Amino acid sequence: MPAILIVEDDPDIRRLVAGLMRREGFSVEEARDAVAMDAIMTRMRPDLMVLDLMLPGEDGLSICRRIRAKETLPILMLTARSDEIDRVVGLEVGADDYLVKPFGTRELVARVRALLRRGSMLPVGPRTRRFAFDRFVIDLDARQLADDAGCAVILTSAEFDLLACFVERPRRVLTRDQILDWTRGRSADPFDRTVDMLVSRLRKKLHAMDSTPNLISTVRNGGYLFTAVVKPEP
């Protein structure tokens, strides 16, 4: 049973989300601020975090940045703001998805299930799919990426989904809308900067492993192109 940690200072919203998640069959922990969240995480590791942006004391952006420095669990950020800059910053510091308040309960459940599915908490197909490119090996079913020395490359759930999208469609120009559709499906928001931020983060992580610097090329007025040769790995 996947465990969900809800970090929200508004008691009404926190109870609403917690009750909804429990009805969906999830194990739920609740925290009103960063202090309570840290106490919970000393005794358990959640499989997904629902994190409010505006919190007393340490805010959601700071929490997200801190968690992301040591954890890869999916983070769904809630915000009462609809400004583009807030969503961009949230994605830059490592959030996997965002939802603007007020939100529909069905959409919240769909986003949570999609993130858990990406994190392999919900079952996927039985086939093993491993591919090699540049100096990396990616296992799409195990959701693991390693370099040619066997060292793991830590990616967030959203970053892994983006890389998988590219690996399955190499040397093909993909528009931002196509990438959003393939990585987030019906929960996609027509917000192009989401893809741009994830591409930037993924580029930095791959290049940090001394890979080819232009594995993901930007195509003017087109989208993005994964330039590597992808080969099935036994």
**80-84, 118-122, 137-141, 179-183, range with the lowest pLDDT:** 118-122
CA atoms in the 13 A half-sphere facing the CB of 175: 7
pLDDT at 123: 41
Amino acid at 207: H
Chosen CATH of 3-118 out of 3.30.420.40, 1.10.10.60, 3.40.50.2300, 3.40.30.10: 3.40.50.2300
Question: Could you tell me the two tokens for 174?
Answer: 């993909």
Confidence band of 6 (pLDDT split at 50, 70, 90): very high
Please determine, for residue 10, whether its predicted confidence score (pLDDT) is greater than 80.
Answer: yes
Q: Which amino acid appears at position 43 of this protein?
A: R
Q: What integer is the mean pLDDT of 209-224?
A: 83
Which percentage of the chain shows pLDDT scores above 90?
37
* Element holding 147 (H helix, E strand): strand 144-147
CB 153 within 8 A of CB 146: yes
pLDDT-derived band at 157 (thresholds 50, 70, 90) equals: confident
Domain boundaries, the chain: 3-118, 130-232
**Mean pLDDT, the chain, integer:** 84
Which one of 46-50, 115-119, 165-169 scores highest in mean pLDDT? 46-50
Q: What percent of the chain has pLDDT over 70?
A: 87
pLDDT at 5: 96
- The answer on pLDDT for 200 being more than 70 is yes
Single out the residue of 230, 70, 50 nearest to residue 140, CA to CA: 230
Place 186 in a pLDDT band, splitting at 50, 70 and 90: very low
Residue 96 token pair: 């996997």
Q: How far is C-alpha 36 from the geometric centre of its chain's CA atoms?
A: 23
CATH architecture type of domain 130-232: Orthogonal Bundle (1.10)
Angle between helices 176-184 and 193-208 (to 10 degrees): 80
Contacts 24+ apart (CB under 8 A), 170-175: 170/133, 170/226, 170/227, 170/228, 170/229, 170/230, 171/225, 171/226, 171/227, 171/229, 172/225, 172/226, 173/219, 173/222, 173/223, 173/224, 173/225, 174/223, 174/224, 174/225, 174/226, 175/222, 175/223
Q: Are 170 and 231 in contact (CB under 8 A)?
A: no
184's enclosing H/E stretch is helix 176-184
CA 85/CA 67 separation, integer angstroms: 21
